[in-house]
Structure 1
Amino acid sequence: MQQISEKVVAGLSVPVKGNKVHFFSGATLQGKKAPAGFGVRVTAGGTKSFVLFHRVDGRKYLETLGRWDENPQGGTLTVRDAIIKADKLAKDLKNGRREDPRPERTRRMQDGDDPEGLKIGGANNSALKPEERDPEQKQPGLLDMFVERYCLKEKALKSADQYASTFRRLVAPDIGDLPVFGEGRLRRSHIVDMLDEIEDESGPVMADRTLAYLRKGFNWFAARNEDFTNPIVKGIREVGTNARDRILNDDELRDLWAALEVVENVPACYPRFVKSLLLTVTRRNEAALMHSSEIDGNDWTIPADRYKTGIDHLIPLSAAACELIGEKPDGANGNSWFIFTTTEGAKGFSGFSKAKRELDKAIAKIRTEAGREPMPRWVLHDLRRTGRSLMSRAGVPADHAERCLGHVIGGVRGVYDRYAYIEEKRAAFEALAALIERILNPASNVEELAGRRANK
């Protein structure tokens, strides 16, 4: 019986040009048997991907399952994982559980772009490197088409890669999953919330640039589809007038925590992720990409290459924050995984907008049932600002609190004082966690205080 292994795949020959598919139908590995049509495609550049050959109505299709995780440029599948995925796909095809088994590229070539089900997208266009594209995005979105057809083909813009990168990093995680038409479609408020987050995390210049890119993309699509109306209107954002100072009060924090316990239709990691934003006073993307390699005991170091100041930032995790880390995902490879993940550790959490909408619904339900007014609009970055305010309330010295947020201290002290303030920051984060606990459980605090008074 034919065998396959990581070593076998590593030893597959590389063609001089084009690509070559090595089939391993019926090959076994650790008790898993590859279905008919399973193979490994090797390109002239040495990249190896797993594929499955199948037929639909007599037509032949070679569908890509994913890239081998031992490629020099990375990938998502081990050999065993690829066999399992191929076997599931083959069974779905056989039993009719898949509505359209054609690969995405084939569907686009044969059917064209179908407005029904079209989403904003932005994470899977051809201007991105293959490893940057989202393997879970099945259909190209509006922004993907804009980059591919307008930026790359019609205008051949030198800045096409900037458009693509901006959409992938800043737009797709927030509004990429929203439909262009129909129920739940993109609205102006979604764009405003997203721009607020971008300004808080990346600055007003980046927010304005993102808005300009979106406006051009939406205008391009509006010229092609008479049913689409560009939601970006004049005055949606004016430079220098969007600074936010929103801080959640105690009631809002209690409602938020209560909603995180009951919210539905969100990834299992989402409640832990949101709580971590407050307990570590970090920015959204910094927490979303928290990686096991960055954690040493109870200390989390965000590396300089993904921190806003360009300097390593050490966060001593409080006991409450440590509880949010969770266990190693079942499908994680080795000792390396993302903490907040929906892909068994392979990728950090994204899909912020969809989950945030579900969370807002849960908060609204709690307030409605209690006969209270709706919660004022808020964004995830408001939790960082709230955490800073709570530190002052907890008696943390301003200098220590600023270092907890990773702000660069100006003047002579900022340049020459190399003392890391680790223990001071540790005390500050514990004080923050303790205050949050008192806010969330005010009744128990009253009982504790009464008990202390009775014992005096």
Structure 2
Amino acid sequence: MPVLTAASIAKYKPHPTKRREISDSKAQGLYLVIQPKPSGRKSWAVRLRRVVNGKIKTAKITLGRVDDPEVEPTDDPVQGAALTLLQARALANEIDRKRARGIDVVAETKAEKKRNRTAAADRAANSFGAIVREFFVDYRTKRDTRPRRWREDAGALGLRYPPDSDPAKVTPEVIKGGLAEKWADKPIAEIDKYAVDIEVDEARKHGSTGRARKMYSALSVLFNWLPLKYGVDINPMIGTKSKPRTPDRRKRTLDKAEIKLFWQACDKIGGVFGPLYKTLLLTGCRLREPAGMTRVELGDGDWEVPPSRTKNNLLFLVPLPQQALEIINSVPAPPVTKNDEASGHNFGLVFTTNGRSPVSGFSKMKEALDAEMAKIAGQPIKPWRVHDLRRTFSTFLNESPDDGGLGIAPHIVEACLNHISGEAKKGVAGTYNAAKYLSEKRVALQRWASHLRDMVGDKPTNVVDLPSKPRGR
């Protein structure tokens, strides 16, 4: 029986097809195991005999792979880790001593492996990477619906879901450099306020304050949702120093001259985006509401925005004025492919470029719109955001006719905006007031369309091609 040395271990080569086992005379049952080519991996194992049900059986206990450091480690050897010759002998001798005391080392090793596998499974299940996915599958608002912008929250936490997908049925893409990648294997209970501060500050430095704010907000909702079964008894968001400052409330509106520039620029960019932006100003809707508009929703001219696209998750009726219908009907129809015809698909989207999904790429088109406005004006324009169109709509409807507005009753303006926080709808009043104010909204929106037409200089059209689709219910 040979005496193994560091030099002889290095000299032993793998067999082309067979596994090699070389015993060591200085440790009971210790073997150097060399796997065949191409891996040729070297490891340590102890072979022994044991009595099972009155019969002698052989058993093998793997100790770990061979390690050949320049300096012998001084720490205690651990089964399963990389081991030098001296460490492997120490473990083999320890196994021999346990057997001498009557301990079933094989059963003990199997139990330890099972404990390790269970612990690893628990760590994986309780890791940030696993829990953040579970969060987007299970989390619901007070209305028992998914948050309106859950995909944005997922992106802030490092996950990208396909459009119109169900997080319970698809596997998201892990965004490179995002939290879901950085904290993939990090136990959720080990995430503290210092770790949160580092990541939020990083998002602010290398992204923007807005990005940092979204990440902070998404993490706050996540950790408020986590049950105690995940071992999180202290919310790491409490006491963080990196909470981004809440931005000042915006007051920006477009004046009459800017509205005229805006309208002319919409004509210039055309396509589906020009009519979409015009529809936003005419209706005061949020961007995602008309962006997903379908012909079925239009019915006989009263546009039904489904709860899935409204902020308050309530059905929203918008009595479209004639001018809005003209604009919607001017949108070029998307191309229909042979595959669409064969499958019978008729998505009926209004603002789309492919006929299958709502239009996207708003940031680039907003830049194009700004460029056209500046070109028409002959000078740089004052910065504005798409949501400022909604504020402009509300301001002109509320403003007195003496000041250039329409003087619409505030509760009707709130109804046009799909708000339920006005005096006529909030608290107890909202419990007993179920009025939709559809007639009043129709008058208000038509007055606004006429007022807007006078501002931008559009000539009225008497012919409107109403859609023939039945109203969806």
Structure whose alpha-carbon radius of gyration is higher: 2
TM-score, normalised via structure 1 length: 0.47
* TM-score scaled by length of structure 2: 0.46
